[in-house]
Amino acid sequence: MTRHFLSLLDLSHDELQSLIRRASELKRMQHRGEIHTPLKGKNLGMVFEKSSTRTRVSFEVGMSQLGGHALFLSPRDTQLGRGEPIEDSAKVLSRMLDIIMIRTFEQEKLELFAAHSQVPVINALTDRYHPCQLLADMQTYAEHRGNIQGKTVTWVGDGNNMCHSYLNAARQFDFHLNIACPEGYDPEPDILEAAGERAKIIRDPLEAASGADLVVTDVWASMGQEEEQALREKAFSKYQVNDELMAQAEKDALFFHCLPAHRGEEVTASVIDTPDSVVWDEAENRLHSQKALMEFLLLGR
């Protein structure tokens, strides 16, 4: 059966745990300069309908390090951008490629593609989820602080694709999630409810950050919401991760940001640019965790 990775819920708790352990192992191997090419002859298609720095480079370099090849497919110069049906594109691309990652707007579009693909499909960000980022985030937490089970994570900002993926992660990794978002910017009710007791909305960001082991934020306006920037700057002005907010958290609390960051908006430079900031490890781990993901989906281990 073809396995896809359209959200964090597509893998079991145990599969996610071993994938993250494998990601750290692949990282150590890479840092030692070991050559590991189990995906020789395999081809990854990368469909990007939105911009990307980290996702594109980590998938392309990751596939190359594993001995395979990656192709960048932009809607601007493929028939995808000229209205060829998703179903047809999925059937054709999956007869030529071994694995496909897609960054697009609607989760439904990704699901439709996956339903017609013979090969594994990976969600490289939609408006609903960003599960690849959570693999890197969970790897980064484990590397710096150990098991996240039972810990308190505070999400500050928009109830967006990253917040939704944190809600799924709270279920899969069994942590508490406090969500500090302004009214009108809550996560989707179905995703919030599915997290049950593990997640709650706390409007006051300082209260939400109290006792946190990990504080996470993201941009106020995501890709596709550029025209709402001014409106969102007003709505989110109190939802900034700054020194005052971090002072509410545990002394050794980590700060995560998927990047790109807007200093002076959702986070201050004093928080993100400290010498012990782990956001650069978090970004690097996109490479290692996605290598582990591709190994898992293609080789079943």
Please, what is the minimum distance in Å from the beta carbon of residue 52 to ligand NVA? 8
User: Is 69 annotated as ligand-binding?
Assistant: no
276 carries an active-site annotation: no
**Interface contacts to ligand CP, rule CB under 6 A:** 52-55, 125, 133, 258-259
Inter-helix orientation angle 86-96/107-115, to 10°:
50
The DSSP H or E segment spanning 73 is: strand 69-73
Candidates 80, 110, 258, 294: give the one binding ligand NVA (CB under 6 A). 258
Give the angle 101-115-112 at the CA atoms, nearest 5°. Answer: 75
**Helix, strand or coil for residue 260?**
coil
Q: Is the separation of the CB atoms in 290 and 70 below 8 Å? A: no
* Terminal-residue alpha carbon distance, the chain: 14
160 binds ligand NVA (CB under 6 A): yes
Q: Which of 94, 140, 178, 222 binds ligand NVA (CB under 6 A)?
A: 222
CB of 51 to ligand NVA, least distance (A): 9
d(CA 47, CA 58): 14
Give yes or no for residue 117 binding ligand NVA (CB under 6 A).
no
Task: For residue 14, indicate whether it is catalytic.
Answer: no
3-state SS record for 30-58: HHHCCCCCCCCCCEEEEEECCCCCHHHHH
| C-beta closer to ligand NVA: residue 117 or 133 | 133
Q: Please tell me which residue in 164, 218, 240, 290 is annotated as part of the active site.
A: 218
Length of the chain in terms of residues written: 301
Residue 28 annotated in active site: no
Number of Cβ within 10 Å of residue 3's Cβ equals 13
Contacted by 162, from ligand CP, ligand NVA, none: CB < 5 to 8 Å by type = ligand NVA
- Give me the least distance between CB of 179 and ligand CP, in Å please: 19
Q: Name the binder of 53 from ligand NVA, ligand CP, none, CB < 5-8 A by kind.
A: ligand CP
Q: Work out whether 223 is an interface residue with ligand NVA (CB under 6 A).
A: yes
Q: Does 290 bind ligand NVA (CB under 6 A)?
A: no
CB 123 within 8 A of CB 131: yes
Check whether 103 is labelled as a binding-site residue: yes
Judge whether 286 counts as a catalytic residue: yes
b/e burial code for range 208-242 (CB count within 10 A of at least 16 → b)? bbeebbbbbbbbbbbeeeeeeeeebeebbeebbbb
Contacts of 99 (CB under 8 A, 6+ apart): 42, 43, 44, 45, 119, 120, 121, 122, 294, 297, 298
Which is nearer to ligand CP, 89 or 161 (by Cβ)? 161
For 69, the 3-state DSSP assignment is strand
By rule CB under 6 A, what count of residues binds ligand NVA?
10
Q: Are 26 and 36 in contact (CB under 8 A)?
A: yes
Query: Which of the listed partners (ligand CP, ligand NVA, none) does 161 bind, with a CB threshold of 5 to 8 Å by partner kind?
Result: ligand NVA
Give which of ligand CP, ligand NVA, none residue 218 binds (C-beta under 5 to 8 Å, depending on kind).
Answer: ligand NVA
Annotated catalytic residue 36: no
Among this protein's residues, is 88 annotated catalytic? Answer: no
Contact positions vs ligand NVA (CB under 6 A): 125, 130, 160-162, 218-219, 222-223, 258
Please report, in range form, the residues annotated as the binding site for carbamoyl phosphate.
52-55, 79, 103, 130-133, 258-259, 286
Q: Which residues are catalytic?
A: 103, 130, 133, 218, 258, 286
